[in-house]
Amino acid sequence: MPGTLPSLLLWPLAALLGLSLGSFLNVVITRLPVMLMRRWRAEARAALSLDAEPSPRFDLLSPSSICPRCETPIAWRHKLPLISWLGLRGRCAYCRQPISAQYPLVELAGGLFAVTILALQGPTLEAAFLLGACLTLLALAVIDLRLQLLPDILTLPLLWAGLLYHWLFQPLGLPDAVLGAMLGYVSLWGFHALFQRVTGKQGMGHGDFKLMAAMGAWLGWPYLPLLLILAAAGGALFGLTSQALDPAKRGQPMPFGPWLALAGWIMLLAGEPLMALYLQWFS
pLDDT in tens, 137-164: 999 999 999 999 999 999 999 999 999 9
Given a cut of 90, whether residue 194 has pLDDT beyond it is no
Task: Say if residue 172 is in the same domain as residue 154.
Answer: yes
Task: Say if residue 255 is in the same domain as residue 198.
Answer: yes
CB contact at 8 A, 244 and 192: no
Task: Say if residue 134 is in the same domain as residue 231.
Answer: yes
Task: Say if residue 150 is in the same domain as residue 240.
Answer: yes
Query: Which residue range forms the structural domain that includes residue 109?
Result: 1-123
Beta bridge partners of 154: none
Query: Angle, to 10 degrees, between the axis of helix 257-282 and the axis of helix 224-245?
Result: 120
Query: 214: closest CA among 176, 175, 157, 263?
Result: 157
Q: In the listed set 65, 94, 123, which residue is the last one of a domain according to the structure?
A: 123
Render the burial of 198-234: b for 16+ CB within 10 Å, e for the rest. Answer: eeeeebbbebbbbbbbbbbbbbbbebbebbbebbeeb
User: Residue 93 and residue 89: Cα distance in Å, rounded?
Assistant: 9
Task: Say if residue 104 is in the same domain as residue 130.
Answer: no
Given a cut of 60, whether residue 4 has pLDDT beyond it is no
Omega within 30 of 0 (cis) for the link into 63:
yes
Query: What value does the mean pLDDT of the chain take?
Result: 90
Task: Say if residue 178 is in the same domain as residue 139.
Answer: yes
pLDDT in tens, 28-39: 999 999 999 999
pLDDT more than 70, % of the chain: 97
User: Residue 45 and residue 32: Cα distance in Å, rounded?
Assistant: 20
Task: Say if residue 112 is in the same domain as residue 22.
Answer: yes
Q: In the listed set 84, 105, 123, which residue is the last one of a domain according to the structure?
A: 123
Task: Say if residue 37 is in the same domain as residue 103.
Answer: yes
Task: Say if residue 241 is in the same domain as residue 206.
Answer: yes
Burial of 262 (0-12, 13-18, 19+ CB in 10 A): middle
Task: Say if residue 280 is in the same domain as residue 151.
Answer: yes
Task: Say if residue 115 is in the same domain as residue 171.
Answer: no
C-alpha to C-alpha distances, 186 to 94, 192, 234, 235, nearest whole angstrom: 50, 10, 21, 20
Query: What pLDDT does 2 receive?
Result: 43
Q: In the listed set 123, 154, 183, which residue is the last one of a domain according to the structure?
A: 123
C-alpha to C-alpha distances, 58 to 37, 63, 69, 103, nearest whole angstrom: 12, 6, 18, 20
pLDDT in tens, 252-269: 778 999 999 999 999 999
Counted domains in the chain? 2
Task: Say if residue 27 is in the same domain as residue 81.
Answer: yes
Among the listed ranges 42-46, 178-182, 189-193, 278-282, which one has the minimum average pLDDT value?
Answer: 278-282
